[in-house]
Structure 1
Amino acid sequence: MNISEIQQKLSSKTLIFPHIPKTAGTTLRSVILSQYSQEKVHFLKVSQTPLEAAQKISESDNKRVHCYVGHMPYGLHKYLAKPAIYITLIREPVDRIISMYYFIREEPAHRLHNEFLSKDISLEDFVLSRNCPRNEQVKKIAGSMVGSAKETMDLAYQNICNHFLAVGTQENFDDFLQVLQKILGWKNKSYTKQKVTKNRKNKREVSQELIDIIKERNGMDIAFYNNLKNKFTIKNFDYIVSRTTSKLIKNEW
């Protein structure tokens, strides 16, 4: 199966992008909008479960929409009319938490913004609080906590294997974009980075003690990120093509 045949077959699939916060997802959203007509892309409001996300989709949307984007966990495909494939972005977990803290301080629309400013919440306060996510990236791709940490991690890997066309990283966004352009037949268009946190500490400026706490509380995310960060790169494009071809021939996608 050559690349044009792959692109043609993939074009008949619904594309789902579960946007994990602070992973360059807003930039990817803008790229997606530049590739498809606006009526083909549906942005879903924040959803805690796949069913909650599906309940926001009308019957006409289900027939018309080609790509769904939103802050939601894996699993939306179970409620859609057409077969679907997933893409997503992940990020080095310690840097993601640091970026999230400074983003909340900068973004007036964030639900925690006013509290952060009125109480002068520090990075350490945030990391130690219940508002700081723990292993959020693994949980979003697993779709839910299913028991032990190992079971959740195994489910996340299983979902990647079974339903994800590719997983990119915030750190190598351009590389991931090249992969999507080649495998999906996207046009090579310029883009502007969105929601970049400007006034933030570099990871090197944060105490090792605090970094160790973030690592200890996000151990699954760290292992997950390290395992996947080089898997779906342009250097491995032959593997991506081979894997995709196999899935399509077996009608798994």
Structure 2
Amino acid sequence: MNNENLLVFMHIPKTGGTTLNTIINNQYDNIVIDEHNTMNLKHAEKANAYMGHFYFGIHDHISRPCTYITFMRDSIERMISLYYYIKETDFHPNHAEINTMSFNQFINAEKYDFLSNLQTRYFCAGQTPNLEQAKDVMNKHFSVVGITEMFDESLALMKHRLEWDNIHYQKLNVSQHRPSKNDLPTDTISEIKQKNSLDIALYKYAKERLINELDAMK
């Protein structure tokens, strides 16, 4: 990677990003962490990496050239992980409410409709999710879009593209005592798929893109 480029890690919640944070910390000595979308951009001008839970578009506010990375995850697994993470995290602002909900109540609660197609929304700068717009952003601005279910392979591509050294890791922030999607009733899976059709399509596109890029490395 061109050392003049600022690495921007767009951390989509519950996609394995906390683990990637530790790997990035081993690569760079000047990192800005923006966990609450505060856009602490004056420090980004001199940083090597900028990472946090923010939507695509940070580069519009930075004078230096930027390159993005992120991870995407199977939509059903991501929703399961998110639900159990909030239930297990006392300090999460939604813990008290969601702790009283079943998983089905959570995925059908109108209050949390914004979580549907959230991964696509991240690529669309927080605006109305649009599949073609998200694909275009991915292709023009992202050096690597990793796939959580192919974490090691994704990491190998990042190492190659970004000239990283030590990429050894331990999984962090993993929800405990949670089911997999194979444990869910068929109708629940159908509801998640219906609410996240754009994310499912974008995930498939990103996975095919990753596989093609890995094949090109061989």
Q: Fold conserved (TM > 0.5)?
A: yes
Q: Give the number of aligned pairs.
A: 216
1:248 aligns with none
Per-residue displacement from partner, 1:168-214 (whole Å, max 9, x unpaired)? 01111111111111111101332111100111012111111111001
Q: Which amino acid aligns with 1:15?
A: L
Distance in 2 of aligned mates of 1:87 and 1:62 = 16
Distance in 1 of aligned mates of 2:214 and 2:196 = 29
Question: 1:240 Cα deviation (Å)?
Answer: 7.3
Runs of 4+ aligned structure 1 residues displaced above 3 Å come to 237-241
Relative distance call for 1:69 and 1:30 in structure 2 (3 A) is same
Question: 1:45 Cα deviation (Å)?
Answer: 2.8
Task: Indicate which of 182, 194, 212 corresponds to 1:204.
Answer: 182
Any gaps of 5 or more consecutive residues in structure 2?
A: none
1:21 aligns with 13
Alignment of 1:70-219 (within 5 A): 70-117=52-99, 120-129=100-109, 130-131=111-112, 133-145=115-127, 152-219=130-197
Per-residue displacement from partner, 1:129-171 (whole Å, max 9, x unpaired)? 122511000010111335xx6xx21111111111111100111
SS at match of 1:111: coil
CA contact (8 A) 2:5 2:67 kept: yes
Return 101-110 or 207-216, whichever deviates more. 101-110
SS at match of 1:17: strand
Alignment of 1:56-71 (within 5 A): 56-58=40-42, 61-71=43-53
SS at match of 2:210: coil
TM-score (norm: length of structure 1): 0.80
CA RMSD, 1 decimal: 1.8
Larger Rg: 1
Distance in 2 of aligned mates of 1:159 and 1:239 = 21
Relative distance call for 1:221 and 1:189 in structure 2 (3 A) is closer
The percentage of aligned residue pairs carrying the same residue is 30
Relative distance call for 1:240 and 1:65 in structure 2 (3 A) is farther
Distance in 2 of aligned mates of 1:92 and 1:210 = 15
Question: 1:46 Cα deviation (Å)?
Answer: 2.0
Any gaps of 5 or more consecutive residues in structure 1?
A: 1-6, 48-52, 242-253
